[in-house]
Amino acid sequence: MKIVIFEPHPDDLLFGPGPILLDWIEEGNEIHVITVTDGRACCRAGADVFSPEIKAMSEDDIAHMRTDEAKQVITYLGIPLENHHLLNFQDADGQKYVKRAIQKVKPIIKDSDRLVLSSTNNMHEDHQAAHDIAIGAAQELNLTDIEYFVFFIASYGRFQEDSKDKQFEFPISDECRKKLLEWYEIYKSQSHLKYTNRMYKRYLKKVEYMTYARFQWEDIGNYYNF
């Protein structure tokens, strides 16, 4: 299968489809990753405590660091570098770029078998934008015969009851957890965010399963999450 994954920010590949992606790679599927934004907003004012090193960096420097981490992950996972597509839109401004992004991604997804995307009705603007880009491009291409595989980052919402028959739980084995924690260490930028880093590590150590949902063309717009 050709599987195209829409990653809203560098690191959402791990916290979204990450666990099941390891299986898809093992199965020998052709994986493409579209990283939508550059991750520059991770250190803007907030409740976290930032390291002196990252405080001294410009947002351009942070964007470069995070997109470089995204590239390192692609190599770590064994995905061909030519299958990694960086849109480089500015973090936290995703909705501004939806129309332009749709045209950019159409050649990538036109012959796909599965699109992997974040849920609609998403609390994060960039995750909502990634969904809108994927669905907008699919509709322009009339991709009626593919699977739409939806993930939700836990901190941005949950799947609703109306799609219960579409959802399934993917168990996290000890071997998978070890791989996810190893993968997480590539995101060095997170080590500069005291509380976020602590939360992410705790989550990966304790999470027992991930919930995903599979939809079809005719489901678009008929569910809260799709």
Mean per-residue pLDDT over the chain, rounded: 95
> Is position 225 within any domain?
no
> Is position 222 within any domain?
no
Q: What is the pLDDT of residue 156?
A: 87
Name beta bridge partners: 50: 193
- 77-110 pLDDT, tens digit per residue, is 999 999 999 999 999 887 899 999 999 999 999 9
Arithmetic mean of pLDDT, 156-174: 95
Arithmetic mean of pLDDT, 40-45: 83
- Number of domain units in the chain: 1
> Is position 91 within any domain?
yes
- Residue 46, pLDDT above cutoff 80: no
Is residue 112 within 8 Å of residue 143, measured between CB atoms? yes
Is 81 in a helix, a strand, or coil?
Answer: helix
Q: What is the pLDDT of residue 157?
A: 83
- Residue 6, pLDDT above cutoff 90: yes
Q: What is the CATH number of the domain that holds 39?
A: 3.40.50.10320
Q: What is the pLDDT of residue 155?
A: 81
Q: What is the pLDDT of residue 44?
A: 81
> Is position 192 within any domain?
yes
Cβ neighbors of 7 (< 8 A, separation 6 or more) are: 13, 16, 33, 34, 35, 36, 70, 130
> Is position 226 within any domain?
no
Give this prediction's pTM.
0.96
Give the burial string for 16-30 (b: 16+ CB within 10 Å, else e): bbbbbbbebeeeeee
Q: What is the pLDDT of residue 23?
A: 98
Q: What is the pLDDT of residue 206?
A: 95
Is residue 159 within 8 Å of residue 167, measured between CB atoms? yes
Q: What is the pLDDT of residue 86?
A: 97
> Is position 223 within any domain?
no
Task: Match 């980052």 to its residue by tokens.
Answer: 153
Range of the domain at 128: 2-217
H helical segments located in 12-111:
12-15, 18-26, 52-55, 59-77, 98-109
> Is position 106 within any domain?
yes
Arithmetic mean of pLDDT, 49-55: 92
What one-character DSSP code corresponds to residue 193? B
> Is position 137 within any domain?
yes
Q: What is the pLDDT of residue 92?
A: 85
Arithmetic mean of pLDDT, 46-72: 93
Q: What is the pLDDT of residue 45?
A: 65
